[in-house]
Amino acid sequence: MFQEYDVIVVGGGHAGCEAAAAAANMGSKVLLATMNMNTIAQMSCNPAMGGVAKGQIVREIDALGGYSGIISDKSMIQFRMLNKSKGPAMWSPRSQNDRMKFAEEWRLQLERIPNVDFWQEMVNGLVVENNKVTGIQTGMGLTIKAKSVVLTNGTFLNGLIHIGEKQFGGGRSAERASKGITEQLVQLGFEAGRMKTGTPPRVDGRSLDYSKMEEQKGDELPEKFSFSNETSPLKEQRSCYITYTNPTVHEILETGFEKSPMFNGRIKGLGPRYCPSIEDKINRFAERDRHQIFVEPEGWNTVEIYVNGFSTSLPEEVQYKALKQIQGFENVKMFRPGYAIEYDFFPPTQLNITLETKLIENLYFAGQINGTTGYEEAACQGLMAGINAHLKINHQEPFILSRSQAYIGVLIDDLINKGTEEPYRMFTSRAEHRILLRQDNADIRLSPLGHAIGLASEERLRKAEEKQKHIDQIVNDLKSLKVKPTQINDELKNYKSAPIKETTAAYNILKRPEITFNELKMLEKELGNYISQYEPSILEASEISIKYESYIEKEHQLAEKMNNLEDLKIGEGLDFSLIPALSAEAKEKFKKIKPKTLGQASRISGVSPADISILMVYLGR
Annotation: binding site: 11-16, 123, 178, 271-285, 368
| Amino acid letter for position 220 | E
Q: Following DSSP, what letter does each residue of 287-346 receive, concatenated?
A: T-S--EEEEEE--SS--EEEEET----S-HHHHHHHHTTSTT-TT--EEE--EEEEEEE-
Q: Which of 348, 498, 465, 466 is nearest to 415 (CA)?
A: 348
Backbone angles phi, psi at 173, to 5 degrees: -50, 130
Residues 251, 254: Cα–Cα separation, whole Å: 5
Q: How many helices (H) and strands (E) does the chain have?
A: 21, 22
Q: Is 197 in the site for ligand FAD (CB under 6 A)?
A: yes
Q: Which of 392, 99, 62, 389 is nearest to 231 (CA)?
A: 62
Binding region for ligand FAD (CB under 6 A) out of 150-158, 292-300, 451-459, 509-517 = 150-158
Q: Which is nearer to ligand FAD, 364 or 517 (CB)?
A: 364
Binding region for ligand FAD (CB under 6 A) out of 24-32, 373-381, 429-437, 612-620 = 373-381
Q: Is 198 in the site for ligand FAD (CB under 6 A)?
A: yes
Q: Which is nearer to ligand FAD, 344 or 611 (CB)?
A: 344
Backbone angles phi, psi at 360, to 5 degrees: -120, 120
Q: Following DSSP, what letter does each residue of 477-530 receive, concatenated?
A: HHHH-EE-HHHHHHHTGGGTPPP--S-EEHHHHHTSTT--HHHHHHH-HHHHHH
Binding region for ligand FAD (CB under 6 A) out of 229-237, 256-264, 368-376, 435-443 = 368-376
Contact code string over 392-431 relative to ligand FAD, x by CB under 6 A: ---------------------------------x------
Q: Is 14 in the site for ligand FAD (CB under 6 A)?
A: yes
C-beta of residue 406 within 8 angstroms of C-beta of residue 439: no
The gap between the terminal CA atoms of the chain, to the nearest Å, is: 57
Q: Which is nearer to ligand FAD, 154 or 222 (CB)?
A: 154
Q: Which is nearer to ligand FAD, 178 or 319 (CB)?
A: 178
Backbone angles phi, psi at 412, to 5 degrees: -70, -40
Identify residues 333-362 at the interface with ligand FAD (CB under 6 A). Answer: 341
Minimum distance of ligand FAD from residue 425's CB (angstroms): 6
Q: Which of 68, 115, 158, 178 binds ligand FAD (CB under 6 A)?
A: 178
Q: Which of 13, 93, 271, 348 binds ligand FAD (CB under 6 A)?
A: 13
Q: Is 389 in the site for ligand FAD (CB under 6 A)?
A: no
Q: Is 36 in the site for ligand FAD (CB under 6 A)?
A: yes
Q: How far is CA 559 from the centre of its chain?
A: 22
Any idea what DSSP says for residue 137? E
Minimum distance of ligand FAD from residue 184's CB (angstroms): 11
Backbone angles phi, psi at 600, to 5 degrees: -60, -45
Identify residues 158-177 at the interface with ligand FAD (CB under 6 A). Answer: 171-172
Q: In the Cβ-directed half-sphere of 258, how many Cα atoms lie within 13 Å?
A: 3
Minimum distance of ligand FAD from residue 11's CB (angstroms): 3
Q: Which of 58, 275, 586, 598 binds ligand FAD (CB under 6 A)?
A: 275
Total chain residues near ligand FAD (CB under 6 A):
37
Binding region for ligand FAD (CB under 6 A) out of 14-22, 94-102, 348-356, 430-438 = 14-22
Chain contacts with ligand FAD (rule: CB under 6 A): 10-16, 33-36, 39, 44-45, 122-123, 152-156, 171-172, 178, 181, 197-199, 275, 341, 367-368, 373-375, 378, 425
